[in-house]
Amino acid sequence: MSNKKAWANAIAQPATEFPLTPLSVIYGKIPAGLRGSLYRNSPGRLERGGIKVGHWFDGDGAILAVNFTDDGATGVYRYVQTAGYQAETAKGKLIYGNYGMTARGAFWNRWLKPVKNAANTSVLALPDKLLALWEGGKPHALDLQTLSTWGLDDLEGLSKGQAYSAHPKIDEQTGDIFNFGISIGKNPQVNIYRSDATGKIVQTGAFPLTNVPLIHDFVLAGQYLVFFIPPVELNILPVILGFSCYCDSLKWKPQLGTQIVVIDRETLSVVSRSQAEPWFQWHFANGYVDEGGTLVVDMARYEDLQTNQFLKEVPTGVTHTPAKSNLSRVQLNPQTGRFMGIETILDRNCDFPSVPPQNVGQNSRHTYLSISRPGTDISQEILNAIACFDHENGTLMETDLGENLYPSEPIYVRDAHNHQQGWILTVVYDGNTHCSQVWVFDSQGLDQEPICKLTLPEVIPHSFHGTWKAA
């Protein structure tokens, strides 16, 4: 008897694209101030020719756009037409290596075949294009309306082999966009990029690494950029030779501790370095400098790297590795690097934390996040609720969607008519009826019924990250 949970049905088959389609409102009403487009990126295809990919991170990227206008809502869903996706479509089978798999075929093929840019992790909406982002390479540019793929984009500043990560940080006050990428050659380093509001890279910096770690995200905190380097080390030689994939060549080394590097956002140079106890994080909620000059950073913290094994199991539809996280806060002196400690501020399994975009890099009263419902077996279930944590009074407001409903990462949207009003958008997979919907909540009413629900014409696989572009 299979112990597959309802979430597995959303990824059991490759996702089906659909053209621009009017979306029906099945509950409530679209708010008058909700005008713009929601974009979400997900691994839409996790198998070819009956063979599963090696890790959730290996799936081909597919983009969902949901457009809200005065005339109603429309949606479109398309795969990113990467070179790897097109080649594997033509062959009808998996060819390339990726994060959790080596290239198929003979040894020399594994050695010579490049890793596929899956374009599957996040999106960045620029004035004239949408970027599909991935960890290990350049972004793909897409048409904002049709989602047709234009091709790889160097943002007028990425050189050959340079990567542009999936977690850019945008300062709404200045329009600056900060991001990074890791170079894993003979002299590994973190490359730092500052772009203008169009996405064009206008400044670069870098700092060296002693080994190749796993850095997925970073923090914009006031006048600083902050990198937390977990005690994870990549054994690069087996990867280069094609004997092993990245995922299986990562080693948890708690004796290294967590390294913290603080960067000046103006000069992109190192201000301080420090070391803390070992932990792992995929995502940060936010960072800021308080009135006393202390750097404060919030994150979804794991005790170790078990989360990577859990994510490796997801494509099979059955998970069994518990990977408990919590919302934690770090404090340090940014100038000296003196680590002041880390504390748990919400002891609930959670991830995908964020703050309203206007609060990025500043103190934010509210943090939105994906979370596990009370009583959930986290070894067998993916995150199945969304919530808002109030830092001022220490309270949590969370949804109760019911059994077998799985919301995506919550996206905060400021109302166009009233900037004091916010909405939370999430794409929900209903495992009871095998369908996907878009739900709109009042940002301060996550414990209440949604304001609006819209139905999508096809099932959307569970996604990683999304963004909002105002009309």
Q: Average the pLDDT over each of 114-118, 231-235, 434-438 and give the range with the smallest value.
A: 114-118
Half-sphere exposure of 90 (CA within 13 A, CB side): 7
Residue indicated by tokens 């096809």: 458
Q: How far apart are CA 300 and CA 344, in angstroms?
A: 10
Tens digits of residue pLDDT in 192-224:
999 999 999 999 999 999 988 899 999 999 999
Residue type, 31: P
Q: What is the pLDDT of residue 1?
A: 41
For the domain spanning 6-470, the CATH number is 2.130.10.10
> DSSP class of residue 98?
B
pTM of the model: 0.97
> DSSP class of residue 10?
G
Q: What is the pLDDT of residue 108?
A: 54
Judge contact between 368 and 387, C-beta under 8 A: yes
Length of the chain: 471
Q: Strand, helix or coil at 32?
A: coil
Rg of the chain in Å (alpha carbons): 21
Q: How far apart are CA 389 and CA 370, in angstroms?
A: 11
Q: How far apart are CA 62 and CA 427, in angstroms?
A: 14
- Element of type H or E holding 236: helix 236-241
Tens digits of residue pLDDT in 383-400:
999 999 999 999 999 999
Q: What is the pLDDT of residue 239?
A: 84
Which residues face 18 on adjacent strands? 77
Tens digits of residue pLDDT in 66-119:
999 999 999 999 999 999 999 999 999 999 999 999 887 655 555 556 789 999
Nearest to 23 by CA among 403, 460, 448: 460
Question: From the centroid of its chain, how far is CA 9?
Answer: 22
Judge contact between 153 and 223, C-beta under 8 A: no
Q: How far apart are CA 455 and CA 440, in angstroms?
A: 12
Q: How far apart are CA 164 and CA 204, in angstroms?
A: 12
